[in-house]
Chain A
């Protein structure tokens, strides 16, 4: 389908299915049950799942394929956000021009940063990207305040020109973001029994973009260009003496991943028209690194899984407080209950970063291919259990798992 191989088509269809039915899948608990707080099917979070999914997919095109570890990709997301908000301030609240402008500006900025940073490789490259991102962050906070509105962050205002729209609605408020009239906030709730499912325009627009972004990334992975990027990671010497110039390949990968970051930034402001400098900080760049590695660098679906997992942790896992824990362990004798809560408490709720850090370390140490490799290993165990003649399948499974190393 769509020029993809059978395996990729299957994966692509799964991703489409998951994003399409996410409002159901993420809301497995009835709205009035005690577990409802673990429902992730509300628009704000679902949007974040797919938007950070896009960010990670793009980052993976650079890091997963070429092995160049950038610690500055959040800067491109930030630039994209600012460009998007400016489009809404100056032109129209339609999100299409805003998103386009985000991608273009992030692409141009990443061209500049990549052109300089890619003169070095290894840790020097990482430090250069880090330096550029930290510079952008610092400048956005200070000198560039006329453009970025400094610490407050760039927001829409009632007196923005909005040449192709209105500065303020008849009711006197700031107009809402929309896709040719379809407002991002719109949506409807569907109540079945005790369950409430929310279908939100903003989410479905972001999901559509993510599906497209995912499709493009499959195409890139399977293209001669993608193969060259893997060659960059594998052996640059051989590439040079094979008549290939690695620089334009890595630069192209860098710019493409920068544009993905810009796309994510554009979608963010399309959902919530606000852009702040903290989006560019190096910890934000570190987060996309975590997502990609956790899910499985160099695999197609890994970054999306990683992004979903981290955002779920951040928004849901972090809500578990000591009351919830006491509820869970309530069936135990009091002393044991308190002891268990005491042990578990630092790892949940506000301490979710600790769990994340530990899980991340375990993945780097034992599962260089991330969750995807973990899944493959488990799958292989099952298959080996069922039939011992799966030798062919095992060799077929190796390329993807090794691509992550």
Chain B
């Protein structure tokens, strides 16, 4: 049984069917990539996992627990973190604060009224946050406000914010979009390293170089339906997939 199980999920917007009977089974410790042409429903699928959208029918089970009906912060608290397509960070706060906040959320739960002790004296949390910033090579900017970062740095910051929570499942929505080749390669290395430690990941990605460097398994989504699910090497040769990608030019 997988860590994350998506069963028969359907979602429509008005008359438009965005997801049709989607099934997904993500094994513990694996990296599962979801690929597909633009508008295939990849982000919609991710959104149904974290209660950003409620599926019309179907079930999502994580670690034996149903996720449908939970609030976003509850889903995070059971161990699901997400990196968004456009980085969602706290722009007006420093990098260090950005990473400390999720660390507090991990320690204190959804709400903790620590109005008297001082942030900068929270040694353990601070060290943990600094360690992650260092790991993602952002420690030199720890006192810079996050909104001043480059797009690539913002993505890595968001990744640090997710990792500091030590999630059981990490959802990545195009983690390298808009990055330079060098930045992309660096991100791949980081993600590989994390995957090596046994963290389960679901990755949405357009860049096939990234997908084939990381994924243990690939699901192909086209027009809201899973048209193939297999090992990376088998996906490359799958005619259905090549058709979906208009002759497989991308592969």
Contact = CB atoms under 8 A, between A and B. Distances in A.
Interface SS, A side: helix
A228 B92 CA distance: 12
Interface stretch (B72-80, B186-194, B195-203, B227-235): B72-80
Given A240-B72, A241-B76, A242-B105, A226 B115 contact: yes
Interface in A238-291: 238-245, 248-249, 252, 256
B44 interface: no
Interface stretch (B60-68, B96-104, B176-184, B205-213): B96-104
Contacts of B120: 5, 222
B101 A231 contact: yes
B10 interface: no
A249 B73 CA distance: 13
A244 B111 contact: yes
A239 B94 CA distance: 15
Interface string A213-235: 00000011011111110110111
Contact of B92 (A226, A233, A249): A233
B250 interface: no
B116 interface: yes
Contact of A224 (B76, B77, B109, B117): B117
Nearest to B161: A242
Contacts of B117: 223-224
A402 B93 CA distance: 9
Given A227-B97, A234-B91, A398-B145, A243 B82 contact: no
B90 A244 contact: no
A222 B110 contact: no
A224 B122 contact: yes
Contacts of A237: 88
A399 B145 contact: yes
Contacts of A398: 145
Contact of A249 (B71, B106, B111): B111
A33 interface: no
A249 B117 CA distance: 16
A403 interface: yes
Contacts of A388: none
Interface in A1-41: 3-5
For A220, A224, A226, A252, the residue with the greatest tally of chain B CB atoms inside 10 Å of its CB is A224
B93 A227 contact: yes
Contact of A241 (B82, B100, B110): B82
B111 A243 contact: no
Contacts of A230: 90, 92-93, 97
A256 B89 CA distance: 27
Contacts of A405: 92
Interface in A378-405: 395-396, 398-399, 402-403, 405
A231 B88 CA distance: 12
A395 B94 CA distance: 11
Contacts of A226: 115, 119
A234 B113 contact: no
A245 B145 contact: no
Given A231-B90, A398-B145, A244 B73 contact: yes
Contacts of B15: none
For B82, B88, B108, the residue with the greatest tally of chain A CB atoms inside 10 Å of its CB is B88
B92 A403 contact: yes
For B50, B93, B112, the residue with the greatest tally of chain A CB atoms inside 10 Å of its CB is B93
Contact of B118 (A223, A240, A395, A396): A223
A202 B112 CA distance: 37
A296 B89 CA distance: 25
Given A238-B88, A399-B94, A223 B116 contact: yes
B115 A243 contact: no
Nearest to B52: A241
Contacts of B89: 235, 238
Given A5-B120, A241-B76, A245-B73, A224 B94 contact: no
Contacts of A396: 143
A250 to B, nearest CB: 11
Contacts of A233: 92
A242 B76 contact: yes
B114 A223 contact: yes
B90 A223 contact: no
A224 B114 contact: yes
Contacts of B121: 3
Interface of B: 50, 71-74, 76-77, 81-82, 84, 88-94, 97, 100-102, 104-106, 108-122, 143-145, 161, 165
26 contacts: A4-B118, A5-B118, A5-B120, A219-B118, A222-B120, A224-B112, A225-B112, A227-B97, A228-B104, A230-B93, A233-B92, A235-B89, A235-B91, A239-B73, A239-B101, A240-B71, A240-B72, A241-B50, A241-B84, A242-B73, A242-B81, A242-B105, A243-B74, A248-B111, A248-B113, A249-B111
Closest CB pairs A-B (n = 10): A243-B76, A225-B115, A234-B90, A245-B110, A238-B88, A240-B72, A248-B111, A224-B114, A243-B105, A243-B77
